[in-house]
């Protein structure tokens, strides 16, 4: 019979968990053991899996789901069952759970000296990282992370959850609060505003776990396609989603026969200007909001016939 990975109640794997906990107690001091007991493994935010062959449980593993990552917990394969691929199969199944939940990364804490476990994690694509969550640096702990693939960008349709899109933009724009004057136009935009803007031009989304994690809105202005409300959820930054949104907007501009992408950014947000410059935009001017006698925004443009921007 083939090896099977399936969901289970943690108590079903009590013998495996007790063996795992006993091993950890024999290797590390109490303060260095971070395993979860059976009751805590039954929490609603935990996915618990077992590896089974011919009705015999060979191993178990769990994924604790947090907003920004999934943590691998309780990974254990019975000594007599090792070498059958149960560990790798459990880890792959946890990754599938993390992707289904729309998580950008998986993380774990494991004990130093557990070389076989380290080899398993590295073979699955995990790399060393620093402490996360409530963990602290410890000579007994090794921390690892695997970033999961970013979702694809697609064109938004009329039936989107625009309230969720607005919430995404509010999260991404929170860093502007108290820095820009006048305040962001987001304060005036409702879910209906987002829907209307998409209908009047175009909007692009990326989704993970059934919720939007990146967006961009665009509308023609003369020979240019003006882009705005470019937002990436905090947990998904650094994953190339902003670049993918810009490329989608460029394809839209070409399809409309336009020659340039343009945007405006508040003058106080130097880091935002640098981010758009890295995506091929150049500063083209300044402007002031009504009632201001100083520049409040800068204009930037990216010609469609520019040389390709190298991916870094």
Residue 38, both tokens: 């059976």
Angle ∠(7,12,15) on CA atoms, nearest 5: 125
Token pair 């839209």 in the structure block, residue: 252
- Greatest CA separation found in the chain? 78
Percentage with pLDDT > 90 across the chain: 95
Residue 271, both tokens: 């880091």
- Given a cut of 70, is residue 312 above it in pLDDT? no
- What domains lie within the chain, and their CATH numbers? 4-147 (3.40.630.30), 153-303 (3.40.630.30)
- Given a cut of 80, is residue 1 above it in pLDDT? no
Closest of 4, 69, 73 to residue 208, by C-alpha: 69
C-alpha–C-alpha distance, residues 148 and 130, integer Å? 18
Percentage with pLDDT > 70 across the chain: 97
C-alpha–C-alpha distance, residues 100 and 107, integer Å? 16
The DSSP string of 269-311 is: -HHHHHHHHHTT-EEEEEE--TT-SS--EEEEEEETTSPPPPP
Tens digit of pLDDT for each residue in 277-308? 999 999 999 999 999 999 999 999 999 975 55
Q: At what angle do helices 191-200 and 162-172 cross, to 10 degrees?
A: 100
pLDDT, position 40: 96
- Given a cut of 80, is residue 121 above it in pLDDT? yes
Q: What is the pTM of this model?
A: 0.86
What is residue 145's three-state secondary structure?
A: strand
pLDDT, position 305: 75
SS (H, E, C) 93-126: HHHHHHHHCCCCEEEEEEECCCHHHHHHHHHCCC
- Given a cut of 70, is residue 311 above it in pLDDT? no
- Given a cut of 60, is residue 309 above it in pLDDT? no
Tens digit of pLDDT for each residue in 20-77? 999 999 999 999 999 999 999 999 999 999 999 999 999 999 999 998 999 999 999 9
């Amino acid at each position: 019979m083939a090896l099977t990975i399936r969901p289970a109640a943690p108590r079903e794997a009590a013998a495996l968990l007790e063996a795992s906990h006993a091993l950890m107690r024999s290797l590390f001091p109490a303060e260095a053991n971070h395993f979860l007991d059976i009751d805590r493994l039954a929490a609603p935010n935990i996915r618990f899996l077992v590896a089974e062959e011919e009705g015999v449980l060979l191993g178990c593993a769990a994924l604790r789901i947090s907003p920004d990552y999934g943590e691998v917990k309780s990974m254990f394969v019975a000594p007599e069952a090792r070498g059958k691929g149960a560990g790798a199969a459990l880890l792959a199944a946890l990754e599938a759970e993390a992707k289904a939940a729309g998580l950008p990364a998986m993380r774990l804490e494991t004990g130093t000296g557990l070389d076989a476990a380290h080899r398993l994690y590295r073979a699955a694509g995990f790399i060393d990282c620093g402490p996360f969550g409530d963990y602290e640096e410890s000579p007994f702990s090794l921390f690892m992370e695997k970033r999961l693939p970013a979702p694809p960008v697609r064109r938004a349709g009329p039936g989107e959850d625009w309230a969720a899109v607005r919430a995404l933009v509010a999260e991404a724009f929170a860093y502007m609060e108290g820095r820009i004057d006048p305040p962001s136009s987001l304060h005036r935009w409702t879910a209906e505003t987002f829907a209307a803007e998409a209908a009047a031009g175009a909007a692009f989304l990326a989704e993970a776990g059934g919720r939007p994690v990146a967006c961009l809105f665009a509308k023609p202005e003369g020979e240019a396609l003006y882009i705005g409300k470019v937002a990436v959820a905090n947990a998904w930054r650094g994953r190339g989603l902003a670049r993918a949104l810009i490329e989608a907007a460029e394809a839209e501009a070409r399809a409309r026969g336009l020659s340039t992408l343009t945007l405006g950014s508040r003058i106080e947000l130097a880091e935002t200007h640098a981010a758009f410059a890295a995506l091929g935009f150049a500063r083209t001017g300044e402007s002031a909001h009504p009632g201001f006698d100083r520049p409040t925004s800068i204009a930037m443009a990216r010609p469609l016939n520019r040389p390709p921007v190298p991916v870094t």
